[in-house]
């Protein structure tokens, strides 16, 4: 009898990096979420909900978390990251879609005070610490213009 195939069950998420006229990036300081609290992270991010595209999720998450309105056509793809927590738990099996945006309506402000306590514009080469590790990987490689279209992160067999 052969062993059953264990398939990777992914949870898709959209990340949105707002970039201002001075090429600074907007980061949020996480608190109260139970995941990577007390770390800096992309200004907006979240799971893709049933029935929506990753583009719709990016627009929705930006509105919900920052109050900023953006159009799908203004989303600039950065990378797609195949990510694992190296613990085998399905909740830690991810496909993350990272976008940048340079145009939006409204002043970004924290909308969900139970998830973030501060927003900060930062130079990509002088980020506050600590940053969520997989997001730091994207930010560092983006700042160095070495970010591939598709990345892998958190796999023991693959150096991130």
The single-letter DSSP state of residue 19 is B
**Res 7 pLDDT > 90:** no
**Res 89 pLDDT > 70:** no
Residue 91: per-residue pLDDT: 59
Residue 104: per-residue pLDDT: 98
CB contact at 8 A, 29 and 120: yes
Average pLDDT taken over every residue of the chain? 91
Residue 159: per-residue pLDDT: 59
The single-letter DSSP state of residue 30 is E
Give Cβ neighbours of residue 7 (< 8 Å, ≥ 6 apart): none
**Res 90 pLDDT > 60:** no
Compute the average pLDDT of residues 82-111: 86
CA neighbours within 13 Å on the CB side: how many for 141? 19
pLDDT band at 8 (very low <50, low <70, confident <90, very high): low
Q: Which residue has the higher pLDDT, 91 or 149?
A: 149
Compute the average pLDDT of residues 105-113: 96
The structure's pTM equals: 0.90
* Lowest-pLDDT range of 38-47, 55-64, 133-142, 151-160: 151-160
Measured CA to CA, the distance from residue 17 to residue 110 in angstroms comes to 15
Cα dist from 48 to 97, 109, 140, whole Å: 10, 22, 25
What is the CB neighbour count within 10 angstroms for residue 26?
Answer: 20
- Domain annotation for the chain: domains and CATH numbers: 11-153 (3.90.79.10)
Of 3, 25, 14, whose CA–CA distance to 63 is shortest? Answer: 14
- The alpha helices in the chain, defined as continuous H runs, are 54-66, 133-143
Of 153, 123, 106, whose CA–CA distance to 23 is shortest? Answer: 123
């Amino acid at each position: 009898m052969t062993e059953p195939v264990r398939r990777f069950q992914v949870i898709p998420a959209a990340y949105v990096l707002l970039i201002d006229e001075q090429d600074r990036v907007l980061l949020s300081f996480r608190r109260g979420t139970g995941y990577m609290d007390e770390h800096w992270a992309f200004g907006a991010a979240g799971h893709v909900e049933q029935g929506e595209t990753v583009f719709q999720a990016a627009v929705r998450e930006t509105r919900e978390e920052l109050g900023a309105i953006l159009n799908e056509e203004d989303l600039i793809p950065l990378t797609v990251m195949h990510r694992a927590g190296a613990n085998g738990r399905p909740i830690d099996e991810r496909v993350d879609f990272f976008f940048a945006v340079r145009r939006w309506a409204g002043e970004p402000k924290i909308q969900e005070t139970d998830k973030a306590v501060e927003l900060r514009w930062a130079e990509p080469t002088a980020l506050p610490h600590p940053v969520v590790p997989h997001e730091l990987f994207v930010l560092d490689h983006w700042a160095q213009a070495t970010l591939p279209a598709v990345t892998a992160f958190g796999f023991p067999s693959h150096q991130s």
